[in-house]
Amino acid sequence: MPLQIIRNDITKLNCDAIVNAANATLLGGGGVDGAIHKAAGKELLQECMKLGGCKTGQAKITGGYRLPCRYVIHTVGPKWNGGQTGERELLESCYRESLRLALEHDCQSVAFPLISSGVYGYPKDRALKVAVDCITGFLFEHDMLVYLVMFDKSSFQIGEKLFADITAFIDDKYVDTHFVSRRTQRDEWGESTVFGESEQATLSRESFREGAATASKGISFQKRTVSRSLEDLLKQEDESFSQALLRKIDEKGMTDSECYKKANVDRKLFSKIRSDVHYHPSKTTAIAFAIALELNLDETKDLLLKAGFALSHSNKFDIIIEYFITNGNYNVFEINEALFAFDQSLLGV
Q: Which is nearer to ligand ADP, 122 or 138 (CB)?
A: 122
Distance CA 324, CA 200 (A): 23
Torsion from C-alpha of 188, 190, 191, 192, nearest 10 degrees? 80
Backbone angles phi, psi at 320, to 5 degrees: -65, -40
Helix ranges (DSSP H) in 186-315: 199-212, 230-235, 241-251, 256-262, 267-275, 283-292, 297-306
* Residues 119/155, Cβ–Cβ less than 8 Å: no
| Residue 10 found at the interface with ligand ADP (CB under 6 A) | yes
Residues 35 to 94 in contact with ligand ADP, rule: CB under 6 A:
35, 77
Point out which span in 4-12, 157-165, 258-266, 284-292 binds ligand ADP (CB under 6 A): 4-12
As measured in angstroms, the least distance from the Cβ of 67 to ligand ADP is: 11
| Residue 32 found at the interface with ligand ADP (CB under 6 A) | yes
Q: How far apart are the first and last CA of the chain?
A: 6
- Indicate which residue of 9, 16, 33, 298 is catalytic: 33
49 conformational bin, left if phi > 0, alpha if psi -120 to 50, beta if neither: alpha
As measured in angstroms, the least distance from the Cβ of 55 to ligand ADP is: 14
- Binding flags for ligand ADP, 119-138, as an x/- string (CB under 6 A): xx------------------
Point out which span in 5-13, 49-57, 241-249, 292-300 binds ligand ADP (CB under 6 A): 5-13
Point out which span in 27-35, 165-173, 243-251, 300-308 binds ligand ADP (CB under 6 A): 27-35
As measured in angstroms, the least distance from the Cβ of 149 to ligand ADP is: 5
Greatest alpha-carbon span in the chain: 80
* Residues 291/170, Cβ–Cβ less than 8 Å: no
Distance CA 133, CA 145 (A): 15
Beta strands 109-113 and 145-150: pairing type?
parallel
9 among known catalytic residues: no
Residue 234 burial (CB count, 10 A)? 9
Q: Select from 2, 5, 11, 128 the one that contacts ligand ADP (CB under 6 A).
A: 11
| Residue 149 found at the interface with ligand ADP (CB under 6 A) | yes
Q: Which is nearer to ligand ADP, 35 or 51 (CB)?
A: 35
Q: Which is nearer to ligand ADP, 127 or 263 (CB)?
A: 127
Residue 323 to residues 24, 220, 286, Cα–Cα distance (Å) = 43, 20, 17
As measured in angstroms, the least distance from the Cβ of 132 to ligand ADP is: 14
Q: Which is nearer to ligand ADP, 91 or 194 (CB)?
A: 91
| Residue 317 found at the interface with ligand ADP (CB under 6 A) | no
By CB under 6 A, name the binding residues for ligand ADP: 9-11, 21, 31-33, 35, 77, 113-120, 149, 151-152, 155
Annotated catalytic residues are: 33
